[in-house]
Homo-oligomer: A and B are copies of this chain.
């Protein structure tokens, strides 16, 4: 059921404005002109989807092979990165590999007009990128971003606007992030891409992604190492079924890419690996000692997560009209805390109805 109070509030709010983002009676709009650096799977798909939504999209790629088909799709392509920056797009999105980031930031820094352009990126590690942006002197116009999407493929030939269907984004802030930049990028995500978002600090983002992605990638890799080194390896693979297949799927993806991702977030990953090792040794001890109570504790500790997943499944089975919306009023001073708390409470922002008001979907949360 749509929250009628929330909708009423939307009508009350629409007159408010901020400086940069374009705000109409309909709320914060998608910026008119988006620049994209890197037409790989993530950047290429983004370009196609924004173009389809009516944006002007200009792109640069370090090799020109995507240009002919990109141009057919209505994406303007520049010969040089400099040329793209000098066009002063409203939002400039860095979709290049992280390894190329310092070099690219160096080219952009002297040319960007921060009054006109907000800088963002799609890297999977946010603390590192912010450091690099800071080193290049551009934090004043930067907002971190990370879309929760992707697949095993890569490159422009794999790009597809549908990659962003139902994607959730994390926008990230640091101590010196300007609020209006956040709203500007949020307008692109909610209106240009029709995606939801949460807004959190870099550190929380990097701890959370190490927990649900980077550390598990290492664990998956350790599993295939264990098998490879076992004299039972072939009989084990013959007897393997869904459990093994699912738990080792990510270890089959490009190990160089996984390695890079883990190294970029190594401090958080290290802490979690040591914690996991301790959990495994503790349950090994319990099995060794036939300690029924400790064994039982191990298998019940995660019950809140199982309950949460069951609740989430019920949520997904509900009719769409039952989605619960909530209205957020964002405090101009304490906006960081407001957004972080909202994300912790399972709220996905789906629209900025004014510069300081947002509509969010409420989702199930894990009560530990």
A-side residues, CB < 8 A to B, are: 146, 148-150, 168, 170, 198, 200, 204-205, 207-209, 211-213, 215-230, 232-244, 246-252, 255-256, 258-259, 262-263, 266, 269-270, 272-281, 283-284, 287-288, 290, 295-296, 298-306, 308-309, 343-346, 348, 363, 365-366, 368
Contact = CB atoms under 8 A, between A and B. Distances in A.
A236 B252 contact: no
A346 B237 CA distance: 9
Contact of A276 (B208, B216, B222, B303): B222
A309 B256 CA distance: 18
B198 A235 contact: yes
Nearest to A306: B252
Contacts of A220: 243, 247
18 contacts: A170-B238, A198-B238, A211-B232, A212-B244, A216-B247, A219-B276, A220-B243, A222-B276, A222-B279, A224-B302, A226-B279, A248-B305, A251-B305, A263-B287, A269-B287, A270-B288, A276-B280, A280-B280
A110 to B, nearest CB: 32
Q: Give this chain's copy count.
A: 2
A238 B205 CA distance: 11
A236 B212 CA distance: 6
A227 B305 contact: yes
Contact of A262 (B216, B242, B269, B287): B287
B234 A365 contact: yes
Nearest to A239: B208
Closest 3 CB pairs of A and B: A224-B302, A212-B240, A273-B284
A211 to B, nearest CB: 5
B208 A236 contact: yes
Contact of A221 (B222, B259, B302, B365): B302
A190 to B, nearest CB: 16
Contact of A368 (B229, B295, B305): B229
